[in-house]
Amino acid sequence: MRQNRLNACWKRRRQEEILITGLNNNEMKTDYQNPDVLVIGGGIAGVGAALGAAKTGASVLLVSSEGVIGGDALSGMPLLGACNARGEWVVAGVLRELLDACKEMNGYIGPVCDWRAVNGVCVDPNILHLAIAQAMETHKIQLLLNSTVIEVKNTAGCVESVSVVGKDGTAMDLNPKFVIDVTGDANIASMAGFACESGGKDGEYQPVSLVFRVCNVDFESLLNFVRCNPDEIILAENPTIELDRTQCAQKVFEQGYPYVAISANGALLGGAIQENNMFPCTAVFVTPTSVQRGEVGINVTRKAGINPCNQKEVSDSYGALCKQVQLAFNFLRSSVPGFKQSEISGIAHRVGIRETRRVVGDYVLQTEDVKTGKKSDDGIAKGAHHIDVHGKGTDQIRIPVDDGRSYDIPFGCIVPKGSRNLLVAGRCISSTREANGSARVMGTCIATGEAAGTAGALCVTGRFSDVHDLKVKDLRQVLTGHGAILEGTR
Ligand SMILES: Cc1cc2nc3c(=O)[nH]c(=O)nc-3n(C[C@H](O)[C@H](O)[C@H](O)COP(=O)(O)OP(=O)(O)OC[C@H]3O[C@@H](n4cnc5c(N)ncnc54)[C@H](O)[C@@H]3O)c2cc1C
């Protein structure tokens, strides 16, 4: 009897929905088309946003143009910005949960200092990949992969719907209550007509790169080389360290993990560049990824003069970057101690992009905020990485945060000016170009993602039609309750 009543009720609701939407039975919208929070982008900021929103009680759909989730975190680079130059953790929350899962699956190395002093959190990217997928499932986050948002309907600052196209060209409309743009490029904010800035003042962008991994590396030989040849390595850049280069090289050795930057100013790499056995670069950045496999991540390739918003230009760089991978691997194997028996074990699944658009938000994170480690009452995440802007050839600007501190990212940095139900997070937050050179790293991206997702969920559960009605104090309280670090760091 009760079942009959429920069936009748369900049938009536379907008929009402057909009347309202004009859809027939076959075109009936599925539940995931009306999520509380729609997260657009499957990079590390998307992971933070989706988990933040789900943990705050929202139904979440994550849409991404890519077929895997995690972005550059799957390539074998250290998670930067999660610890400051003094080694103090400044990001936790969902990142902590993922790292704990990596630990359980034996894929966690942890924070390692390169004694420049950058503290990178090193993990096995294969295990992190699994941990992210597991977290998505645990938190019941629905996924729509290989799907690209191509149109956004914005009515008076409110994103009402977005159109998504899948691989087969079929278009579908989604009607979320709240939207998080974690596309790295602020694609959604830009399509919705919100103001954005892009690259440098002369239209320049940081180079694009292809990261790769190498296994069967003899960590001990490499570390011995570092200890005996400090002039070949970038060391002691940050005055916070108070040690000389030789002492820093000894520290790297004692730490036991090859987290080092082989410098283009040294005889080894510099000589190889001069003899055309290597392409011009700042350094070969080496990151330990797996002790079991004797594996390291290598960040060295670079192609400048590309506009990363232009797909044709990025696509044209792909072949050249693959050739650089080969050249760099040959250099390592033939010239750098520890790499003699090594093999390429992985190449990033996409060309890596350092910068494109930055949204213009209610607050623009200032270069001075980063340099001085400025704190703010409405901080929703923390950053700590040095200002890191790569140029052409061997150029790179690196400016440390004063005294090895962290800085706060105010709520206004994730709110596009004039937006009511759209937030941004990750690489494309509102910031000057130099400040973005720090905030673009993955530890900071996952933290701003978590803050944006949590804010979106709070707006939905609190029935706020404008994100400006949300009290930042309340958001901070929920984030802290979920384990985020917002206070108490240098
Ligand atoms: C070579 C290189 C080295 C780096 N080294 C480090 C390092 O050592 N440590 C560190 O912490 N950081 C490093 N960074 C920086 C860091 O990796 C990135 O800035 C960060 O991963 C950006 O994350 P994100 O989630 O904001 O963007 P992304 O990872 O770019 O994710 C954006 C996602 O949005 C999707 N998307 C875009 N448009 C649409 C659309 N219209 N519809 C649907 N989906 C869409 C994309 O497919 C992608 O999945 C490096 C970056 C590069 C390129």
Question: What mean pLDDT is predicted for residues 67-74?
Answer: 98
By alpha-carbon position, which residue is closest to atom 19 of ligand 1? 440
pLDDT of residue 21: 38
By alpha-carbon position, which residue is closest to atom 17 of ligand 1? 72
SS (H, E, C) 395-429: CEEEECCHHHCCEEEEHHHHCECCCCCEEECHHHC
Contact 87, 111 (CB under 8 A): yes
Question: What mean pLDDT is predicted for residues 123-143?
Answer: 98
Ligand 1: lining residues by beta carbon, under 6 Å: 40-46, 63-66, 71-72, 77-80, 148-149, 182-185, 187, 209, 211, 299, 352-354, 426-427, 440-443, 445
Question: What mean pLDDT is predicted for residues 443-460?
Answer: 98
Question: What mean pLDDT is predicted for residues 246-261?
Answer: 97
SS (H, E, C) 29-75: CCHHHCCCEEEECCCHHHHHHHHHHHHCCCCEEEECCCCCCCHHHHC
CA of 347 to the centre of ligand 1 (A): 16
CA of 484 to the centre of ligand 1 (A): 21
CA of 440 to the centre of ligand 1 (A): 8
Sheet hosting strand 212-215, strand order edge to edge: 260-263, 283-290, 295-299, 212-215, 343-347
Q: What is the DSSP string of 191-227?
A: HTT--EEES-TTS--PPBB--EEEES--HHHHHHHHH
Q: Which residues contact 187 (CB under 8 A, 6 or more apart)?
A: 40, 149, 181, 357
Nearest atom in ligand 1 to 41's CA: 34
Widest Cα–Cα separation across the chain: 85
Question: What mean pLDDT is predicted for residues 242-266?
Answer: 97
CA of 483 to the centre of ligand 1 (A): 24
Q: Is 158 helix (H, G, I), strand (E, B) or coil?
A: strand
pLDDT of residue 353: 97
Cα–Cα distances in angstroms (integers) from residue 312 to residues 43, 165, 308, 309, 315, in the given order: 21, 20, 9, 9, 5
Mean pLDDT of the chain: 93
CA of 71 to the centre of ligand 1 (A): 5
Question: What mean pLDDT is predicted for residues 72-96?
Answer: 97
Contact 46, 346 (CB under 8 A): no
Tokens of 428: 């494309």
By alpha-carbon position, which residue is closest to atom 26 of ligand 1? 426
What angle in degrees, to the nearest 10, is found between the helix axes of 311-335 and 267-274? 120
Instruction: Look at residue 15 and tell me whether its pLDDT is greater than 50.
Output: no
Report the alpha-carbon distance of residue 199 to residue 206 in Å, rounded. Answer: 8
Report the alpha-carbon distance of residue 439 to residue 432 in Å, rounded. Answer: 10
pLDDT of residue 25: 36
CA of 436 to the centre of ligand 1 (A): 13
H or E element in which residue 343 lies:
strand 343-347
Report the alpha-carbon distance of residue 97 to residue 382 in Å, rounded. Answer: 17
What CATH code is assigned to 34-72+130-202+356-481? Answer: 3.50.50.60
* 39, 44, 47, 72, best to mutate for ligand 1 pocket (most atoms within 8 Å of CB): 72
Q: Which residue has the tokens 């429920």?
A: 6
- Phi and psi at 13, nearest 5°, equal -65, -40
Please state, as a whole number, how many other Cβ atoms lie within 10 Å of the Cβ of residue 316.
12
pLDDT of residue 12: 42
pLDDT digits (tens, 9 = 90+) for 312-339: 999 999 999 999 999 999 999 999 999 9
CA of 119 to the centre of ligand 1 (A): 20
Question: What mean pLDDT is predicted for residues 411-420?
Answer: 98
Residue with more model confidence, 422 or 202: 422
- Of 407, 363, 382, residue with least CA distance to 479: 382
pLDDT of residue 297: 98
By alpha-carbon position, which residue is closest to atom 14 of ligand 1? 441
* 80, 123, 183, 431, best to mutate for ligand 1 pocket (most atoms within 8 Å of CB): 183
Instruction: Look at residue 4 and tell me whether its pLDDT is greater than 60.
Output: no
- In the chain, where are the structural domains located? 2-26, 34-72+130-202+356-481, 212-347
pLDDT digits (tens, 9 = 90+) for 276-304: 999 999 999 999 999 999 999 999 999 99
Question: What mean pLDDT is predicted for residues 91-95?
Answer: 98
pLDDT of residue 30: 61
Instruction: Look at residue 23 and tell me whether its pLDDT is greater than 70.
Output: no
pLDDT of residue 8: 40
Sheet hosting strand 171-174, strand order edge to edge: 148-155, 158-165, 171-174
Residue count of the chain, please give it.
490
Read off the pTM. 0.94
CA of 72 to the centre of ligand 1 (A): 6
pLDDT digits (tens, 9 = 90+) for 33-70: 899 999 999 999 999 999 999 999 999 999 999 999 99
